[in-house]
Structures are given as structure tokens and as C-alpha cells.
Structure 1
Amino acid sequence: MKYRRVGNSGLKVSEIALGSWLTYGKTVQDQTAYDCIKRAYELGINFFDTANAYERGKAEEVLGEGLKAYPRSSYVVATKVFFPMGEGPNDRGLSRKHIIEQCDASLKRLGMDYIDLYQCHRFDPEVPMEETLYALDDLVRQGKVLYTGVSEWSAAQIEQAAGIRKEHKLRPLISNQPIYNMLERYIEDEIIDVSHKNGMSQIVFSPLAQGVLTGKYKPNSEKPVDSRAANDTTNFVINSYFQNDVLECVQRLNTLASEMDLTLSQLSLAWILSHQEISSAIIGASRPSQVEENVKAVDVVLTDDVLSEIEVILEEVKDFSPAR
């Protein structure tokens, strides 16, 4: 495994992280989740990502149980706050009340004394940003949180937060967690540069486009019955990729990967890791063998010629915009 710093902080995380969105506490049995976490740890993954909203806390419980066997100092846990955790008017968002209460709730579910990286899961237009940033800063002062970040914030929102932080001498945000893969590249327009300028790096989710960039989905073909796309509880994201031109492009990428004696998953992850502004790519895994396959991407070095060839293939879907 290889490790990278997160933003301008001293925190180092594995280039591949294990996430729990749409998997742990939901479609994957707990014991299988524990097996995946164990294998990830054995392979050098020290970064585990979750969120309070993933199955209303169940994913945090599963992750915490799976990590109990290991020294707390040997791994990094990231979780998030924003989405509804109840029916009340204060059970959501980025108010001071919700942030403080949900941090305590996440710590209890994880069975931990502190959270390494606490992230605003989305931007909240209903709450003054100063209120949100002061609440995060107070959690760091209290030792409940070590570092803070955001997820899917715009360049303007990141810039605004940096200005407030500097004005009030608050601790910095160190990361942004956006969706990023070969097919969805919106962060290249502004967000990567603005984040870098303000000492933040990217921790990206859906690096394999919810499994589309494994090559298992073919154009003009039925979805495999055991796949995420065929599961009504998880297909709301992945279905947006199902356009024939996109799937045809993916098959060309798959051919290139085969010529390099790689799986498409490994090529896709290696392409992401070729961008130094990215600290880690969060994978999902429903069995340990997927973790083993994906981890091999950290040793793949893509030449300039290969990167150029990838860009030529992707040019055909440069205007792709998935429905969300």
C-alpha cells in the first residue's frame, strides 16, 4: 500500500480507502463486511469511510465493530453529517445543534473516542456558514474530532469557507469528498484548483462509477441478475450511467486494460491516482476478493501515452452528464 497526505495536514491515508455507502448495514451481511474490513486492513488500507446517514447509523455500527480488533492509532475513520437522522426540524443539516449531537451519536455508534475526519456531507444553504465552521472547530478543540472536511461543496462554497476560517482564525478544512471517475469529471473545472489553493485535497467516491467501470455491464444487454444495477435498493445511482454510448466507451477502456494485463477496475483506479491532488479513492466491496483486486492499482504506473489514449477514448463521452 502507498499513502498520501490529506491537504496541508500531516494526516496520511492509504491511496485506496474502504467505504460503506450502499453496502455495509444494507446489502452486505455483517460478517461479510467484517471479512472485507479485515482483508483491507491486512493489505495496508488504513482509511475507512462512512456516514451517519448510511442506513441511519447502521453502517457506522458495522464499521466500528469490524475495526475493534485493531489498535485505534493504526487506522483513520471518516464520517459525515448533514442528511436527516430523524423526523424533527433539527434532525438534519449543518446547524450547531445537529452537528454536535450527531458527532456524539456517531462516536457512540462507532464505539470510538474520536473521529479522525469529520465532514459536512453536503452544503446547507439554511445555516450561516460561520455557525457550521465554529461548531466544527469546537469539536476539534474538544478532541472529539481531529480534522474536518466537506463533501460535494462547490468551488465558491469552499472559497467562502476558507475566507471565514482565515478571518476568524479557525482550524482549516483539509479535504473535499466529491464523486470522481473517468465518466464524471466536473471537479476538474474549478474545484481541484480552488481546493488546492486553500490547502485541501480530494478524497473521491464512486471511482468505479458504481461498478460500471468494471466492464461487467455491456451495451444493449441485460443487467446481470446479481449486480448492483439489478437491485432496486441500490440502482438509483448506477442507472444514470446506462446509456449505450457510455457503455460502448467503457468496453473500449476494458480492451485497453486487457492489453495492459489489468482489470478495468485497476486501470480506472490507477487513472484516478495519477492525479496528485487526490489523496485517496474510496472503493466499495461486497467480498474480500474485490478489495484484493482493487488494491493492486496502487502499483500501476500509467505512462503519458496510456493517459493520452484514455483521453482519446473518453473524448466520445465528454458531454455525458448523469441524471441525479
Structure 2
Amino acid sequence: MRYRTLGATGTVVSTQCLGTMTFGNETDEEGSFAQLDRFVERGGTFVDTADVYSAGVSEEIVGRWLRARPGARDSLVIATKGRFAMGPGGNDAGLSRVHLTRALEASLRRLGVEAVDLYQAHAWDPLTPLPETLRFFDDAVRAGKIRYAGVSNFTGWQLQKAALLTAHLGLTPIVTLQPQYNLLARDIEFELTDVCHNEGIGILPWSPLGGGWLTGKYRRDTPPTGATRLGENPERGVEAYAGRNADERTWRIVDAVAEVADKRGTSMAAVALAWLADRPAVTSVILGARTVEQLDDNLAAADLRLDAEETRLLDEASAPRVADYPYGAAGVQQRARELPAG
């Protein structure tokens, strides 16, 4: 396992983070405990959850595991999130001071801890003025209930505005962004990665395996069945599969990952995770396993480093589509400027 600092902070985390969205849903408590034990055994120090995962059950499972493993809390950096609805009321969702106060207190109770190391806005809230949310984060840090603040699923302008406001108002900074990011979904590179690099914000990618597509479990023109996320939900699965199956870029990427995996004698999942872990500004990649066996396969990527040729192959196969403006050639031309020849 490798380690990095959490964004621009001095807190050290493993470059793989155990995501717990499956806990209490696709993975029962015994299986969840087994994943946590294996992750820590392999050197993992970073665990991410959210209040909305299994309607609070994921946090409760993590809390019971912590109580059953004396001393485990001191070796882990624990992150959770609030924003989405946890009840039917108008203040049971959002990033308002009212909702986040209740949400954070509930998360602390479920986890059985006095503070969480990273508390994240799970998504943008158009109803709440951003300064209200940022001041809540600052107050929670001062109260000793959270140590750092982060956001998830923000767009480029939203993240940049948050970074500028915290600096202008003298509030606790945003130290992480949790976005969807993988070889199949690289659109955050148009804006968000630059914001993160410039502001010292660490990226925590979710869905690093593209919903299983980058593991090689799906085949061209063969609709999924059985023990896969798409196969177990036929109505949704057929539609989701059809869209990506029809896109030649999907198979170009899958073939490139398979080529590198065959050369290295490792799994496609390990290759996809290793590529992502070494992207600029990435702090830690969030793993989302349903079983210990899947987790073991993902953990194999912890120490895998791709060489320049392997990285180039994957970069070229997965290059995001670029419209002409503002990110294509016409847009680049508008922003280009060079010093006069001397």
C-alpha cells in the first residue's frame, strides 16, 4: 500500500480508500466486517461512507466494527457525507445549516465517534447559499466535530467558487473533491482537475471501475445476466448495457486495459485502478467491493505502477471526446499566447 497526504493537508491516507456503499445492502454485516478487516490488514487507512448509504445502516455497521476492534479508530481516517434526503421533511435534505447540523450529529451517533476526519457535502444544493454551507463546515471544525471539509459531485464553477469563498472569508478550506472518475469517464479533466491542482484539493474518485465495465465482466453484444450489477437488474441493465455496448470507445478502452493486464499478468481491475491512482491531483481511489474476493482483486493494484508506454496506451484509448469550443482546437486557440521570439 502507498500513502499520500489528504489534499494539501498534513494528514496521511492510503492511496486506496474503502468505500462502504455496499454495506447493509449488497453486503451483509459479516461480509462488511470481513472487508474492513482485510483492508486494514493490507495497510488501508482511509474509509468512506455516507448517511444515505443503506439509509444509515452503512455508518452503523462501520460503527459496530470500530467498537469491536479497540484501537482501530486511531489508525483510520474516516470520511462521511451529508446532503441527500434522510426523511420526508423539507429540512431533511440539503446543505443548509439546519439539515447539516442534524445530519452530522446523526452520523456521529451511528459511527460512535466524537468527530469524523473528513465531512463532505454529498452534492451541490441550489437552495442553500454556499456561504451558509461553508460557515457550517468552519463552525464544525472549530467545535471539534469534523477535522476537514470536502465536497462531492460539484462542477468546476461550483468548486472554484467554494475555494475562493473560503479564502476570502477566512473559513476552513475545501480539501477534497469526490467525483466520478475512471477510464470511461474522464470529463472532469475539462475543468475540475485544473481547479483541484491549482487549489490544492485532493481528488477521491468514485466508480473507478466504471460500474464493472473495466473488470472485463461484460462482453460485446452480450447483454449481462446473473451476478453482475447490470445482470441483477434486467430492466435497468439492458438499457445501461445497450448504450455503452453501442459506443466503440467503450471497447477500445476495454481492449487496451485487457492488453496491459495480459502483459503484466494481473487483472483488468488492477490495471484500471493503477492508472487512476497516478492521475494528477488524485489522493486516494475509492474501492466499492461487494465481497472480500472482489476487494482482494482491487487491493492488488495498491503497489502496481504502470510504465510510460502502458500509460500512453490507456490515455490514448480513453481520451475524452472534445467538442470544438471551448475545449477543442477553436477554444485552445482563443486562450493561446506565447512570448515574442527573442
Q: TM-score, normalised by structure 1?
A: 0.93
Q: Which residue of 2 aligns with 1:258?
A: 262
Q: Is the counterpart of residue 9 in structure 1 residue 13 in structure 2?
A: no
Q: Is the counterpart of residue 301 in structure 1 residue 302 in structure 2?
A: no
| In 2: Cα distance, 1:172 partner to 1:233 partner | 43
| In 2: Cα distance, 1:51 partner to 1:237 partner | 29
What is the correspondence of 1:105-254 to structure 2 with a 5 Å cutoff?
105-232=106-233, 239=240, 242-244=244-246, 245-249=248-252, 250-254=254-258
Q: Relative to 1, partners in 2 of residues 1:237 and 1:210: Cα closer, same or farther, differing over 3 Å?
A: farther
| In 1: Cα distance, 2:264 partner to 2:14 partner | 24
Deviation at 1:25, TM superposition (A): 1.1
Q: Which residue of 1 aligns with 2:99?
A: 98
Deviation at 1:224, TM superposition (A): 3.7
Q: Higher RCO, 1 or 2 (CA under 8 Å, sep at least 6)?
A: 1
Look up the equivalent residue of 2:261 and give its one-letter code.
A
Look up the equivalent residue of 2:276 and give its one-letter code.
I
Deviation at 1:29, TM superposition (A): 1.4
Deviation at 1:237, TM superposition (A): 12
Look up the equivalent residue of 1:271 and give its one-letter code.
W
Q: What CA deviation, in whole Å up to 9, does each residue of 1:97-117 have, x standing for no partner? A: 001110000001111111110
Q: Which residue of 1 aligns with 2:335?
A: none
Q: Relative to 1, partners in 2 of residues 1:70 and 1:282: Cα closer, same or farther, differing over 3 Å?
A: farther
Deviates most, 139-148 or 282-291: 282-291
| In 1: Cα distance, 2:100 partner to 2:23 partner | 23
Q: Is the counterpart of residue 80 in structure 1 residue 81 in structure 2?
A: yes
Look up the equivalent residue of 1:156 and give its one-letter code.
W
Deviation at 1:222, TM superposition (A): 3.2
Q: What CA deviation, in whole Å up to 9, does each residue of 1:265-309 have, x standing for no partner? A: 000011011214100000111221222221221221211111111
Deviation at 1:235, TM superposition (A): 5.7
Deviation at 1:65, TM superposition (A): 1.7
Q: Which residue of 2 aligns with 1:59?
A: 58
**Matched-pair contact (CA < 8 Å) for 1:228–1:234:** no
**Matched-pair contact (CA < 8 Å) for 1:210–1:238:** no
Larger Rg: 2
**Matched-pair contact (CA < 8 Å) for 1:149–1:175:** yes
Which ranges in structure 2 are unaligned for 5 or more consecutive residues?
A: 324-342
Q: What CA deviation, in whole Å up to 9, does each residue of 1:137-185 have, x standing for no partner? A: 1111111101110001111111111222122211111000000000001
Deviation at 1:70, TM superposition (A): 4.4
| In 2: Cα distance, 1:53 partner to 1:229 partner | 22
Aligned to 1:282, what secondary structure does the other structure show?
A: strand
Aligned to 1:262, what secondary structure does the other structure show?
A: coil
Which ranges in structure 1 are unaligned for 5 or more consecutive residues?
A: none
Q: Superposition RMSD on alpha carbons, in Å?
A: 2.1
Count of aligned positions: 318
Q: Which residue of 2 aligns with 1:41?
A: 40
Deviation at 1:238, TM superposition (A): 9.6
Q: Relative to 1, partners in 2 of residues 1:157 and 1:237: Cα closer, same or farther, differing over 3 Å?
A: farther
**Matched-pair contact (CA < 8 Å) for 2:197–2:280:** no
Q: TM-score, normalised by structure 2?
A: 0.88
Q: Relative to 1, partners in 2 of residues 1:6 and 1:137: Cα closer, same or farther, differing over 3 Å?
A: same
Q: What CA deviation, in whole Å up to 9, does each residue of 1:73-110 have, x standing for no partner? A: 10011110110010000000000000111000000111
Q: Relative to 1, partners in 2 of residues 1:86 and 1:108: Cα closer, same or farther, differing over 3 Å?
A: same
Deviation at 1:13, TM superposition (A): 1.0
**Matched-pair contact (CA < 8 Å) for 1:57–1:109:** yes
| In 2: Cα distance, 1:73 partner to 1:238 partner | 45
| In 1: Cα distance, 2:234 partner to 2:166 partner | 39
Q: What CA deviation, in whole Å up to 9, does each residue of 1:180-228 have, x standing for no partner? A: 0000011111111112222211011000011111001111113140111
Aligned to 1:97, what secondary structure does the other structure show?
A: helix
Q: Relative to 1, partners in 2 of residues 1:211 and 1:83: Cα closer, same or farther, differing over 3 Å?
A: same
Aligned-residue identity in percent:
35
| In 1: Cα distance, 2:9 partner to 2:101 partner | 23
Q: Relative to 1, partners in 2 of residues 1:32 and 1:246: Cα closer, same or farther, differing over 3 Å?
A: farther
**Matched-pair contact (CA < 8 Å) for 1:210–1:237:** no
Q: Which residue of 2 aligns with 1:19?
A: 19
